[in-house]
Chains A and B, each alone.
Chain A
Amino acid sequence: MADQDQGATAQSIPALLALNVERYGSRPAYREKEFGIWQVWTWAEAAVEIRAMAMGFLSLGVERGDHVAIIGRNRPAHYWAMVAAQMVGAVPVPLYQDAVAEEMAYVLDHCGARFVVCGDQEQVDKVVEVEDRIHHIQHVMYTDKRGMRKYDHSRMNHLADIVAEGKAGHFRYEGELEKRIAELTADSTCVMLYTSGTTGKPKGVVLSNRNIIETARASVAFDHLGCDEDVLAYLPMAWVGDFIFSIGQAMVAGFCVNCPESPATMMTDLREIGPTYFFAPPRIFETMLTNVMIRMEDAGDLKHGLFKHFMDFAKTTGETYGMPRYRVKRSKPTLRRRWRWAWRYAMGIGFSVETMVENALRLALVRLRHPLEHRKHFHARGPLLNLYPQPLRDYFDYRTGEVTIFSPLKNTLGLSRIRVAYTAGEAIGPEIFEFYRSMGINLKQLYGQTEASVFITQQPDGQVRADTVGVPSPGVEVKIGETGEVFYRSPGTFVEYFRNPESTASTKDAEGWVATGDAGFFEPGTGHLRIIDRAKDVGKMADGRLFAPKYVENKLKFYPSILEAVVFGKDRDRCTAFINIDLNAVGNWAERNNIAYASYQELAGHSQVYGMIRDHIDAVNRSVAQDPMLSGCQIHRFLILHKELDADDGEMTRTRKVRRNVVAEKYADLIAALYDGRDRITTETEVTYEDGRKGAIRATLRIEDATVAPEAHLQKEAAE
């Protein structure tokens, strides 16, 4: 633990970097797959590059307090640019790379960035497009020089040239750099991140070194992360999670950050790297599961049968026998432990012998009774002899499952080495959560925010459930306000919103309590936090019953065929919903059922698809009816949208959360139709293509009724 004590003195990311060079100098710090090969930089090598880049920044004239915008996919060079900017006393501002020029213009203008680091030509083009409106941009750097030859290079450079410049001018800038690094304190700004802006314009969240480092330290200790972890950096760099994992925790724990070759190769790279610590929004886990299920449908009977048998079996036993053990470093195995191993092996052999004998006996018996069609009547069930107690039996069964199904499957998904995996951002479906956990992947949930440097609550090992978000993280205080809103106070609490004191004041009070904007409650008994919905979305229906759209939407989204759902019903007498189907899952289903379709729109309007979705909604209605508080939220009528909700159309944030008010405004005609009893409506919708051009889709949508289940508590009252 001496390492961590040393780490406690480092007050800034550059200081941690220097410490890591000392501690782990020859261990890998960054990997990136390029030209088909994983290129590795050790901490020592990375530090040289980062320092050179910082000196290059000095040669360009980056001043203390300047903002350096970074726009690009996850690449070591971009992470280095962030640390290099910190070294020279500037503030890195990572931006979402898939934002359109207009959105980028707002952020660039708001933070007053003088320097911009772009990933490639595409990003440079966007910056050039808005440059004439934003006069403070002085210099643009780019990492990939493809297609860049024709640009005006008077105020533009290849980042590698800047690094070379820094290396060349090393005598000139070394002193200045040391001085600037020494000036950094725990209170100097570490990074500025823009919120995705579910409501209104994005806000710049200023996080200090203290916020990032303290949070990272606490969370590294919480999950026993060490310098031998591997993470895959694939989430948007502008998102606080990526900053905490790939810079904060990586610097504190000294583990290796792996960058995929391109976004398209993410899954292959995931498999090649086999991360030990992994973070993904529920959507990724959902997609992976959907893919597995689709491919299992195509597998042979034997594989299909094994998969089904062991997945069902693991549902009840996975928690007990599947989870990886905590990292406990043990000395040489003692005689006692050797003896235990030998005993286990013997028991295992005994078990398989018993099973074989048993099945042979059973087959013989079946053959006597059905000499001609014994195959049909033979079922290999658990041993009859019952020489082993049930837990031991389950243990062996689970290990068999591990060899035949779980390990190969985990290997295919690239999750073989996972020690800790987190999901956050949205609720995850209980089936999805259970699937991963039963395979022995330690998938946990956390609840966090940009303003809190991610961690507010997280689930400790051994107390993991699908419906809660865990207990307050170490060092975080959480309280529930009178309205049900969740408040927190922690070392990671942000300093301020940049150039926006009003918002800062309305979010963070004098004592440092921050409103999350989410409504939730602590579960009595366990002390786990449960989040219901965004506090401002939770409302009342016309008859005064509670309306929590997200709660119902999440239940709907747990079905693989439903990609997105938007529920309406605030101040109305009943609830209705928009459904977005998942083209992958529904397309596959259509293929299996011989349903022909030519487009997303046609598939979405198909009557059999409507039938399937209605069944799902009915099931959700039945489950919602069980909850006395929220039983009013059952869906009475619904329609399937003719296009996917999309961030380019402003219907979702870049982190793929539905912008409820935008959707309500844009599809006002559809909502009206949901409530006035019509059974079809013709509408025209404007769409924005990825390159910014606009088009329109016309469609006639059907509206159908769903079955509303009787409410559980009313039934009870009636019975009494």
Chain B
Amino acid sequence: MKDMGEGYTTPDGRRIGPVLMELRNITLRFGGVVAIKDISFDIREGEIRAIIGPNGAGKSSMLNVISGFYVPTEGEVWFRGEKRGPMRPYQVARLGIARTFQNIALFDGMSVLDNIMTGRLTLMQSGLFSQALWWGKAAAEEDEHREKVEKIIDFLEIQNIRKTPVGRLPYGLKKRVELARALAAEPKILLLDEPMAGMNVEEKEDMCRFILDVNDEFGTTTVLIEHDMGVVMDLSDRVVVMDYGRKIGDGPPEEVRNNQDVIDAYLGVAHA
């Protein structure tokens, strides 16, 4: 792949910055199963980076490696010029990595607003005691965070369900709430695990617009896993293609689309 030095400019005129995260020769084994095999790629600042591949290709495992949930068996993860060691989940969140899940992981009984507020937990300064008593710094701080959360609610156009318990919402809206919660953490890198799975065309279009808007407005670096090829090709700046734990393609969508290995992986190839 051609060297891009300190970044590049996308066809629609967005400026992509230098490398934010670099994965070097990642291998991940579960016992004898090799989930990821010697994969390297980088994620640049402000970029929408897609990971695609057939079922069982190791996409979600890759996302878990990026988020620090899995520690790679071999290889290194470099984040903002530093090598990253094993971490606890809260440390990951503090680093500025937020994610949504393939199967929605929201608090069903809580309102949309409260769910999104939980996204800001790592950013809260006041201690457990003052938060529980609603006293001193906690009260003032909550206002501040609520303001940020309201901006996100406004941004994702979910004002009308602000007070609705999440359990009562349809699937498409839950996905949007999950995105809102991830955004509330003001992440450097936003990881989306199949944000459009199980949605109808209209909901997909909405979601695409939100992902693009988020990237445009907040400059959030986004890594997404998606099955819908049309969506991936339209949304992303660069695509990594995986198959059976190996990387079989990496580059801008047009380039990947014409890659013979990718075509074989997706359409199948005659093993004669």
Contact = CB atoms under 8 A, between A and B. Distances in A.
Interface string A31-68: 00011110000000000000000000000000000000
B205 to A, nearest CB: 9
A265 B154 CA distance: 12
B159 A146 contact: no
Given A149-B216, A265-B160, A34 B12 contact: no
Contacts of B153: 35-36
B13 A264 contact: no
Given A36-B113, A265-B159, 6 more contacts: A35-B150, A146-B155, A146-B217, A149-B217, A264-B157, A264-B159
A269 to B, nearest CB: 10
Interface in A257-279: 261-262, 264-265, 268
B223 to A, nearest CB: 22
A36 B159 contact: yes
B94 interface: no
Interface of B: 12-13, 113, 146-147, 150-151, 153-155, 157, 159-160, 162, 213, 216-217
Contacts of A268: 160
B3 to A, nearest CB: 27
24 contacts: A34-B154, A35-B147, A35-B150, A35-B151, A35-B153, A36-B113, A36-B146, A36-B153, A36-B159, A146-B155, A146-B213, A146-B217, A147-B213, A149-B217, A150-B12, A150-B13, A150-B216, A262-B157, A262-B159, A262-B160, A264-B157, A264-B160, A265-B159, A268-B160
Nearest to A689: B202
Given A34-B154, A35-B150, A35-B151, A147 B160 contact: no
B159 A261 contact: yes
A261 B154 CA distance: 9
A146 to B, nearest CB: 7
Nearest to B217: A146
A36 B155 contact: no
Interface residues of A, number: 13
Contacts of A265: 159-160
B211 to A, nearest CB: 13
Nearest to A266: B160
Contacts of A35: 147, 150-151, 153-154
Contacts of A146: 155, 213, 217
B186 to A, nearest CB: 17
Contacts of B216: 147, 149-150
B197 to A, nearest CB: 22
B108 to A, nearest CB: 22
Interface of A: 34-37, 146-147, 149-150, 261-262, 264-265, 268
Q: DSSP class of A's interface residues: helix, strand, loop or mixed?
A: loop
A60 to B, nearest CB: 26
A40 B56 CA distance: 55
Contacts of B159: 36, 261-262, 264-265
B13 to A, nearest CB: 7
Contact of B162 (A34, A36, A147, A149): A36
Contacts of B217: 146-147, 149
Nearest to A147: B213
A146 B155 CA distance: 8
Nearest to B147: A35
A150 B213 CA distance: 11
A36 B12 CA distance: 34
Contacts of B13: 150
Given A146-B217, A147-B213, A150-B216, A36 B160 contact: no
Contacts of A261: 159-160
B182 to A, nearest CB: 19
A642 B150 CA distance: 41
A147 B162 CA distance: 22
A264 to B, nearest CB: 4
Nearest to A261: B159
A268 B162 CA distance: 11
A519 B36 CA distance: 78
A524 B228 CA distance: 69
Nearest to B154: A35
A37 B150 CA distance: 9
A377 B78 CA distance: 81
Nearest to B153: A36
Given A147-B216, A150-B12, A36 B150 contact: yes
A42 B207 CA distance: 38
A146 B147 CA distance: 17
A125 to B, nearest CB: 12
A38 to B, nearest CB: 13
Contacts of B160: 261-262, 264-265, 268
Contacts of A36: 113, 146, 150, 153, 159, 162
A241 B147 CA distance: 35
A167 to B, nearest CB: 24
A436 to B, nearest CB: 24
B46 to A, nearest CB: 13
A146 B13 CA distance: 17
A149 B213 CA distance: 10
B11 to A, nearest CB: 12
Nearest to B155: A146
A314 to B, nearest CB: 31
Nearest to B148: A35
Contacts of A264: 157, 159-160
Contacts of B154: 34-35
Contacts of A34: 154
Contacts of B113: 36
A592 B160 CA distance: 28
Nearest to B146: A36
A147 B160 CA distance: 21
A34 to B, nearest CB: 7
B26 to A, nearest CB: 35
A613 B13 CA distance: 57
A285 to B, nearest CB: 21
B106 to A, nearest CB: 19
A82 to B, nearest CB: 24
A708 to B, nearest CB: 44
Contacts of B12: 150
Contacts of A150: 12-13, 216
A31 to B, nearest CB: 15
Of A36, A149, A150, chain B has the most CB atoms within 10 Å of the CB of A36
A45 B162 CA distance: 29
A149 B113 CA distance: 28
Nearest to B150: A35
Contacts of B162: 36
A36 B216 CA distance: 24
Nearest to A262: B159
A153 to B, nearest CB: 13
A318 B95 CA distance: 64
Contacts of B151: 35
Contacts of B213: 146-147
A37 B162 CA distance: 12
A261 B163 CA distance: 14
A147 B213 CA distance: 6
